[in-house]
Structure 1
Amino acid sequence: MPMKQGEDLRQLVGYQLQRASLIAERDARRALAPFGLSPAKMTALLLIRDNPGCDQTALGQALGINRSSAMRQVNILEDKGLIERRAGRDARTNALHLTATGEEQIAAMLAAINTADRVLVENLTGEEAALLSAMLERIATPSPRSRPRRRSPQA
């Protein structure tokens, strides 16, 4: 029997976002399972596609993970033959690029994940789904008010 959710939980936007996120994550994992990728690795792949030549530090920042975690993501994607490292802007960096295999497979991966997304919002009208997407983008875009303020030096 499902647990009851009281009014306090139902009113918390963060709680509702988390519930929706868990469902979206589960469905995305199922959609990407045939490709052997997690949603995070698919996100990394798309970021590399959209930012050819980026380095793993920039990738880690975009993913919100540290450099060593980004390196693990890159190693896995490289082992799968989806990306390659090329000479970077200096001797310490590598430029990340999709391989021909990555370019070929990304369309099928996107089709699978887009199907999962459509199922996620199937109870919404097209207008509601577009509005939800726009609102989530606004929530996820930091505003100047949400950035921590620097303390002024004390005299």
Structure 2
Amino acid sequence: MTGKAPLIDPLEHLLGYQLRRASLATLSALSEAYEALDLRLTDAIVLRFVGANPGCNQGEISKALGVRRTNMVPVVSGLVERALVARAAADGRTHALTLTQAGAALHAQIDELAHANEERFFGGFDEETRKVLLRALDTIRARAES
């Protein structure tokens, strides 16, 4: 296709398409940053949830993320094996999750990388624009979840 005009993007006017492209760009960059810490994006997200909610369980995290509980089992088990998360008996078969000392240290690095990623992609937006975007995205998620 040398010498030809670039392809016309017939999807460029679709908000959902543009949202997906933007999401892929931001999450890909964040995923690459977490790889330097030997973490997958999912691992980092679970660590952030446990850090923000000490004593939560994997069922609660899976519900908050909108994923199946069975998908959470290998993620949490991997974090426990790496001594980043500790399990403690809560009630019945439920285990309360907390960050270990190593997990808390890694959590701080994850948080720093997440803030840097936010600044890279959204730092040019004023506070009011950020609020509008967050409300719009919250509305989209609510519609998808209802």
Distance of 1:132 and 1:37 partners within structure 2: 31
Q: Is the 8 A contact 2:51 2:107 kept in 1?
A: no
Post-superposition Cα deviations, 1:107-149, rounded to whole Å, max 9, x if no partner, equal: 1222223222222235x3x41xx34532343234358x8364x
Post-superposition Cα deviations, 1:13-66, rounded to whole Å, max 9, x if no partner, equal: 111110000101110111101112122221111111111111111111111111
* Pairs aligned (count): 140
Structure 1 residue 69 displacement after superposition: 0.7
Q: Which residue identity is paired with 1:118? A: E
Residue aligned with 1:10, SS? coil
Among all aligned residue pairs of Structure 1 and Structure 2, give the percentage whose two residues are the same amino acid: 29
**Which residue pairs with 2:68 in the alignment?**
66
Q: Which runs of 4+ in 1 moved over 6 A?
A: none
Q: Is the 8 A contact 2:83 2:102 kept in 1?
A: yes
Q: Which residue identity is paired with 2:94? A: T
**So what's the TM-score if we normalise by structure 2?**
0.82
Q: Is the 8 A contact 2:51 2:99 kept in 1?
A: yes
Distance of 1:135 and 1:41 partners within structure 2: 29
Unpaired runs of 5+ residues, structure 1, are 149-155
Q: Is the 8 A contact 1:32 1:113 kept in 2?
A: no
Distance of 2:115 and 2:7 partners within structure 1: 30
**Which residue pairs with 2:98 in the alignment?**
97
Match of 2:88 among 81, 86, 92: 86
Match of 2:136 among 124, 136, 139: 139
Matches within 5 A, 1:1-155: 3-6=7-10, 9-88=11-90, 90-121=91-122, 124=124, 126-127=125-126, 130-142=127-139, 146=143, 148=146
Structure 1 residue 4 displacement after superposition: 2.8
1:44 to 1:140, Cα distance in 2 relative to 1, 3 A: farther
Distance of 1:72 and 1:131 partners within structure 2: 40
**So what's the TM-score if we normalise by structure 1?**
0.78
Distance of 2:131 and 2:65 partners within structure 1: 20
Q: CA RMSD in A?
A: 2.3
